[in-house]
Each structure stands twice: as C-alpha cells, then as structure tokens.
Chains A and B, each alone.
Chain A
C-alpha cells in the first residue's frame, strides 16, 4: 500500500489482481472466473472453490447490483479520509453473484434499504488508479 499526494492508501495490484484494476482504469468491470466451471469469484485468487481448478480467466461483468449492507464512517481511521467524513460505504450484491464494497456517490444513507438497485461508477483518483463507487440506479 502506497501513500500518494492524495494522502490515501492506494491499491498495490498483484499479478493475481492486475486485470481487475486495469479494467477499472478503462471503466470496465473485469472480474475473475473459473476457466473450467465458470464460477465467478472475487476478490481475485488462484483456485476455484467449487472445482479446485487453478485455471482462471477474466470476463466483463455488469456493474449492476443491489444493496446488501452499508456503513457511514464519521471517524477517519486513516488520515487520508479526514476531509471525507462522514462518508457512506455500501456493500453490493452484484448481479453476477459476487460482492463489492465502495462509496455511494450520493453519500446519503437515509436513501438506503436492503435490495436497493445500484450501478457501478468509476472514480479516477489519478492517471494510474481508478477506484469503484456506486450510484443509486434511477
């Protein structure tokens, strides 16, 4: 994890996860799945937990999903987020069957309910890094 001028922790992609982060940079949701049985998995890892194949592949997934849970941070446990509090993070059930956690663009938890439809959006924090975020689906 590196600190940049933004003062926030940034992801350090591994060989395993690089296609995910490169996908976000290109404003695509690139997720991993088993090359053998095609079960999607996230976060990226070497083995399929359904068939134990060590062969993975990448596919372009829909960024649509629904709210599984959320939290509102009023305290910055990392100094890089001191200017952001309070901020809403939502846990999303993607339609493809895995979850993501990311900020809610509207940053208003009063609108949230379990199952609320949301859609992935892209936050270009630098020329090198794009982070996920979600918007409430109109």
Chain B
C-alpha cells in the first residue's frame, strides 16, 4: 500500500514575535506569520493554493484568500481537534499535495489569546464542549485546567506520579525558553518556585499551566518532489496520525482517564515512518499542562503507562538528555499558538537552525498535538 511517508515536506516556516499585549488582530497576526513562512519557502502569497485554517478560530480561509488577492484556490479544509489541529493539519496537507489536489498548502494560526478572549470564556461556546457545558459547567468545571485535573489526579493516585515530576517538566521548559529570544518567559524557575506558585485546579498550580499569548505561526507544506527544488532544505513528513480518546466528548465517562487519543495515533505514525523510538532525536510535545507531557510520553510509547513521571527525571527531557523535549520552551514558557509553534520549532531543529538551543545532529524528530478533551495528533519528520 502507498502511504504518505516522505511524499510531502515542510518547505517554509515562520512566526511573529510573541507578546502578552497587542493591538493587532488575530487576522493581522495570522497574515504576518503567513508571510514569514511563505517568504521562507521562496514563494509569494499568490503561489499558495491550499489552506487549512484553524477550526473555531477567528480567521477563516477566505480572509487569507482576500488579503492575498488569490484567484484560484484549489483546497480548503479544517482539522477540528482543538490543540491537536495544527499537527493534524500536516497530515491533511500532505494528503492534498501528494495527490496533486494542491501544490503549496499554508497552515496558519494567529491569536490574540492574551489581549482578546481568554480560554475560560471561549470554551463555553465551542460545540465540541456542549456536553460538558450542559452537565459539568453548572457544577463548576468551566475550563481545561478543571477538566484535565481529574486525569492528572487519577494518574498520581494510580502510579505515584508526583508534583516534583510535574515541576521537572515546567523547569525544563523554562530553561529551554531562556535560550530562545522569541520566548516570553525569560527568568529562571526552580522546583521551589513551581511549588510556591498558586494552586489553580489542584493538582495543577500556576506553573503547571500554559501561557496565554498574542502571536502567530505558519508553515507551508509542498509535495516532496517539488520541495527538493525549493530554497530551504525540505523537512520531510514521514509518519503522521490522529486519534480520538474513548468517550471523546467527555472525560468523565472515559474508561481510562489516563489514555489519550495520541495512544492510538502514535503507533500509526511510527509504522508509517518506519522508525523506532530510539531514532527520535528531538520531541516537541504539546504542553498545555505539565501532566499532559508526562501522559503523552507514555502514550507515545517512550515508556509504559504510569512510568512517565520517572521518565522526566534526571534531565532526560533536557537539551543534553536522551530525549530533548520542547526545545523552544513550549506552551509553558515560549507562547501559546495552539502548538503550531511546536511545528515551527521542529522544522528549525531539523534544519540545524536552533541556535543556542540546537540539539546536536538532530535528524529525526516528532511533534504532537493535544486538543479539546484528549484528541491527539503526531507528525514524525526528518531532514
């Protein structure tokens, strides 16, 4: 069977400066990031003939077509998986360009998540949360921290996962952010700082939670044969997958609270790519919460269920560790562009453009997305 392995590549990547405070709209941020990615690919906006806009975002494909003055768009789609959408869009784009439906597909995402509406007020209007809105919002579950905290608590009670292990994730992301000029959080964080941060939804403290920020990121995906003639070294998409957890519309009814959609997506992606875990040089893992990283490391298969806590100890996910993770600082300490910043960072690492945070000899890497009530997505890439 023909698979998507190596039939498409990321040929352009860009992002805006990240801020907490902006007078720019989500559309302006989206256009700024899109232009950076398109120029990086050696293209002009008129060359883009496909787009995967962020489902549920403020910007729709037509906004970009209008601003680009495009006359002949051939492909438009959305991948409605919340924070898993950006990585799911890579698979969707690869399908479009490898079949000739489109030539260059843009995946843009801009948001004024700090200056505009916050997650607690956005989420109640999202249709994928309608069950939670009827049955769980009235008793006091109104935001992701509150929905996900019982998953983390169950993991702690079953497997002995500790707040020290959560802190290890937060502190590592911060250390990486401090090597990245375009990361919001630039002051050091210790384990003690983490423990002293205020409780939000126990077991989550403030420093277990991702940032809200203003900014945008974008990538261009092109067919592999065309990518070889483009200016930047292509970063090939070798393995991709998406997955929904059991009981995808409510965590409460999920048979196993600690198993995410990624547990289904990851084996598909590794099989498609033909690589094993030891081949992965760098991982960009959707870190809406510290716990989410620990859980995804298990669901990815880097360790058994319940062993994610010990896995992150002893510097294993640091730049010099066995699995350098979130080299840009992640959603926890760089910025929150729904994980498209993770895609941009993986491309940078595999191009060798990581600067002070470059992982030595990074040839193969993976990026994950996590969205809504546990949806998962993954892309394995190589240079």
> CB within 8 Å of B: which residues of A?
1, 8-14, 17, 42-43, 68-75, 77-78, 81, 84, 86-87, 89, 91, 98-103, 109, 113-114, 129, 131-133
B230: interface (CB < 8 Å):
no
Q: Are A75 and B200 in contact (CB under 8 A)?
A: yes
A37 vs chain B, min Cβ distance (A): 18
A87-B140, A102-B139 given as contacts; is B154 within 8 A of A11 (CB)?
A: no
Q: Are A9 and B133 in contact (CB under 8 A)?
A: yes
* Closest Cβ neighbor of A13 among chain B residues: B134
Q: Are B153 and A81 in contact (CB under 8 A)?
A: no
B244 vs chain A, min Cβ distance (A): 14
Q: Are A9 and B137 in contact (CB under 8 A)?
A: yes
A12 vs chain B, min Cβ distance (A): 6
A73-B146, A75-B145 given as contacts; is B140 within 8 A of A109 (CB)?
A: no
Q: Are B257 and A71 in contact (CB under 8 A)?
A: no
Q: Are A114 and B124 in contact (CB under 8 A)?
A: no
Q: Are B143 and A43 in contact (CB under 8 A)?
A: no
A21 to B133 alpha-carbon distance, docked (Å):
14
Q: Contacts of B158 on A, CB cut-off 8 Å?
A: 114
* Closest Cβ neighbor of B124 among chain A residues: A1
B306 vs chain A, min Cβ distance (A): 14
A20 vs chain B, min Cβ distance (A): 9
Could you mark each residue 108-152 of chain B with 1 if its beta carbon is under 8 Å from any beta carbon of chain A, else 0? 000000000000100010000001011111111111011001110
Given contacts A69-B153, A74-B202, A78-B140, 7 further A-B pairs with CB under 8 A are A1-B133, A11-B135, A69-B150, A71-B203, A72-B201, A75-B145, A78-B142
Q: Contacts of A102 on B, CB cut-off 8 Å?
A: 139
B166 vs chain A, min Cβ distance (A): 14
* Closest Cβ neighbor of A12 among chain B residues: B134
Q: Are B252 and A100 in contact (CB under 8 A)?
A: yes
A1-B137, A9-B142 given as contacts; is B120 within 8 A of A74 (CB)?
A: no
Q: Contacts of B135 on A, CB cut-off 8 Å?
A: 11, 17, 43, 101
Q: Contacts of B150 on A, CB cut-off 8 Å?
A: 68-71, 89, 91, 101
Q: Contacts of B133 on A, CB cut-off 8 Å?
A: 1, 9
Q: Contacts of B199 on A, CB cut-off 8 Å?
A: 72, 74-75, 86
A42 to B252 alpha-carbon distance, docked (Å):
10
Q: Are A71 and B253 in contact (CB under 8 A)?
A: no
Q: Contacts of A89 on B, CB cut-off 8 Å?
A: 139-141, 146, 150
A17 to B250 alpha-carbon distance, docked (Å):
15
Q: Are A131 and B139 in contact (CB under 8 A)?
A: yes
B198: interface (CB < 8 Å):
yes
Could you mark each residue 20-55 of chain B with 1 if its beta carbon is under 8 Å from any beta carbon of chain A, else 0? 000000000000000000000000000000000000
Interface residues of B, count at CB 8 A? 33
B80 vs chain A, min Cβ distance (A): 19
A48 to B201 alpha-carbon distance, docked (Å):
34
Q: Are B139 and A103 in contact (CB under 8 A)?
A: yes
A9-B138, A89-B141, A102-B139 given as contacts; is B253 within 8 A of A77 (CB)?
A: no
Query: Which of B137, B138, B253 has the most chain A CB atoms inside 10 A of its CB?
Result: B138
Q: Are B143 and A71 in contact (CB under 8 A)?
A: no
> CB within 8 Å of A: which residues of B?
120, 124, 131, 133-143, 145-146, 149-151, 153-154, 157-158, 198-203, 250, 252-253, 257
B75 vs chain A, min Cβ distance (A): 33
Q: Contacts of B157 on A, CB cut-off 8 Å?
A: 69, 113-114
A86 to B204 alpha-carbon distance, docked (Å):
13
Q: Are B252 and A71 in contact (CB under 8 A)?
A: no
* Closest Cβ neighbor of B149 among chain A residues: A71
Q: Contacts of A9 on B, CB cut-off 8 Å?
A: 124, 133, 137-138, 142
B200 vs chain A, min Cβ distance (A): 5
Q: Contacts of A84 on B, CB cut-off 8 Å?
A: 140
Q: Are B124 and A101 in contact (CB under 8 A)?
A: no
Q: Are B138 and A70 in contact (CB under 8 A)?
A: no
A17 to B131 alpha-carbon distance, docked (Å):
10
Pick 29 A–B contacts, CB within 8 A, sort by A: A1-B124, A9-B138, A9-B142, A10-B138, A12-B134, A43-B131, A68-B150, A69-B150, A69-B153, A69-B257, A71-B150, A71-B201, A71-B203, A72-B199, A72-B201, A73-B140, A73-B200, A75-B199, A75-B200, A75-B201, A78-B142, A78-B143, A87-B140, A89-B141, A89-B146, A100-B252, A101-B252, A109-B202, A131-B139
A68 to B139 alpha-carbon distance, docked (Å):
17
A89 to B146 alpha-carbon distance, docked (Å):
9
B161 vs chain A, min Cβ distance (A): 13
Query: Which of B158, B200, B201 has the most chain A CB atoms inside 10 A of its CB?
Result: B201
A68-B257, A78-B120, A114-B158 given as contacts; is B139 within 8 A of A73 (CB)?
A: no
A94 to B322 alpha-carbon distance, docked (Å):
43
Q: Are B143 and A77 in contact (CB under 8 A)?
A: yes
